[in-house]
Amino acid sequence: MEFLPKNIDDYACSHTQNESPLLSELNRETWSKVLIPRMLSGHLQGRALSMFSKMIRPQAILEIGTYTGYSAICLSEGLRDDGKLYTIDINEELESMSSSYFEKAGIKDKVRQYVGNALEIVPTIKDNFDLVFIDADKENYSNYFDIVIDKMPIGGFIIADNVLWSGKVVEELKSNDSETKALIDYNTKIHQSNRVENLLLPVRDGLMICQKVK
């Protein structure tokens, strides 16, 4: 679902820094070879993630949901010189593709790539995270928040994708729609938490941005 009129969205994209040739290549390959390519962050959201990361200048980033690696490359643009990006995905079939693009992007040495269940993997990572990006199975968004919030310093940021879910979060909820219910619960949890300050941005499919304050 497009939340902005196409001409406004086109104008926003045309007045946003272009994606790099490498990201453009990854964008095209994802759309030509991978199922559900709309899961890719893409140009506008990718530049937003890059800018957030550059403003935060994180030492360590955690990404839950690698997909083909587009968002990880964007997030890595703000890493400190000795920083690390930890990225986790359940789908091992995409690991070689994302890994090859991390190498092309020159960030292979900064990336720690995991395949498996993030709820099991995150507690084993000894680092703390200045920036977390959640873009995985929607039913576990609240669980992901719970396992990362104590591994972040005061001032750390969590960004969660797809929180508007094509507008379904404001429509009548169907009894069997577990993903929409989980996202509604997540948005409510973040908004009511006294541990974070939050902003829901209607960029693409919605980004919930929160900063740890307690």
Per-residue pLDDT of the chain (214 residues; tens, 9 = 90+): 567 788 998 999 999 999 999 999 999 999 999 888 888 899 999 999 999 999 999 999 999 999 999 999 999 999 999 999 999 999 999 999 999 999 999 999 999 999 999 999 999 999 999 999 999 999 999 999 999 999 999 999 999 999 999 999 999 888 889 999 999 999 999 999 999 999 999 988 999 999 999 9
Check: CB of residue 84 under 8 Å from CB of residue 60. Answer: yes
* Segment holding 111, helix H or strand E: strand 111-115
- Give me the pLDDT at residue 88, please: 98
Beta-strand relationship, 111-115 and 131-134: unpaired
Range(s) of the domain holding residue 49:
6-212
Total domains in the fold of the chain: 1
The angle at the Cα of 207, spanning 34 to 45, to the nearest 5 degrees, equals 55
How would you write 128-166 as a 3-class SS string? CCCEEEECCCHHHHHHHHHHHHHHCCCCCEEEEECCCHH
| Residue 117 included in any domain | yes
pLDDT at residue 4, as a whole number: 78
Kindly state whether residue 1 falls inside one of the protein's structural domains. no
Instruction: Give the pLDDT confidence score for residue 39 in this predicted structure.
Output: 81
pTM confidence score: 0.95
**pLDDT at residue 92 in the model:** 94
Per-residue pLDDT, 36: 83
pLDDT at residue 2, rounded to an integer: 63
Which CATH number characterizes residue 65's domain?
A: 3.40.50.150
Q: Does 50 reside within a domain?
A: yes
- The answer to the question of residue 145 being in a domain is yes
